[in-house]
Amino acid sequence: MADIAPSAGLPRHVAIIMDGNGRWAKQRLLPRTAGHAAGINVVRRVVRYCADKGVEVLTLFAFSSENWRRPADEVSVLMDLFVEALARETRQMHEQGIRLRIIGDTEAFDGRLRRRIAESEALTAGNTGMTLMVAGNYGGRRDVVRAAQRVAEAVQRGELAPADIDERLIEANLSTANMPEPDLFIRTGGERRISNFLLWQLAYTELYFTETLWPDFDESQLELAFQDFASRERRFGCTGEQIQAGSAVGR
């Protein structure tokens, strides 16, 4: 992954767990799925805001590998929303120069969704603006396991010795290869957990939790998170004095 500047300004990579859709709907006596539908509107606003600000990568946790355990009708609505969102939003994202990538085990999705994903990724692949990574059927541990398997295969082929395995090699085999590490992680909805999101990648990320439920999250809330991030001192294992003196380098 790319080197990281020691001072925090605008985050290059923002990763978000969009939590609280179900509770938002329940508060309104609506079905949980109405919360997900409302959440899509916030996704659109947050994507636009981050792209306009100059964020390089935005990663959204849309569906975890554990979310299959939800009631079948909720899973089905989430899949439909995903298909519809891709159909509706891809062209506009393309016009904004956004490159879309889906990370996670997309083979588990039905053919309709897989085709949409392939089309949206292909259309936007050459764009040079913000990269929007949507994590779908994603699990952080599985991401690391897959990377370990790929590296083990290279060892088995005789291309590498076990002693050659280092952090950069693991990183290069994660689904986020060639992306900067997340600088800022945001979780809405009041829970203070990582929930098997980008486990390896979040090692040095600044964590930000807000009680706001995802459908109520907006540009002003995101700006608060950015301001909070800008006030943090990122030390990457160095002392505060080293950082102040400018002697520390990126990892």
Annotated binding site for substrate: 20-24, 32, 36, 64-66, 68, 70, 187, 193-195
The reply to whether 23 sits near ligand FPP by the rule CB under 6 A is yes
Residue 19 is a catalytic residue: yes
13, 51, 82, 186: residue in contact with ligand FPP (rule CB under 6 A): 82
The reply to whether 44 sits near ligand FPP by the rule CB under 6 A is no
Residue tagged 């329940």 (tokens): 26
The reply to whether 40 sits near ligand FPP by the rule CB under 6 A is yes
**Region from 39-47, 101-109, 114-122, 169-177 binding ligand FPP, contact rule CB under 6 A:** 39-47
Residue closer to ligand FPP (CB basis): 216 or 228: 216
12, 13, 14, 21: residue in contact with ligand FPP (rule CB under 6 A): 21
The reply to whether 135 sits near ligand FPP by the rule CB under 6 A is no
**Region from 7-15, 33-41, 107-115, 116-124 binding ligand FPP, contact rule CB under 6 A:** 33-41
| Catalytic, out of 3, 41, 52, 67 | 67
Catalytic residues: 19, 67
Binding site for ligand FPP (CB under 6 A): 18-23, 32, 36, 39-40, 43, 60, 62, 67, 81-82, 85, 134, 189, 214
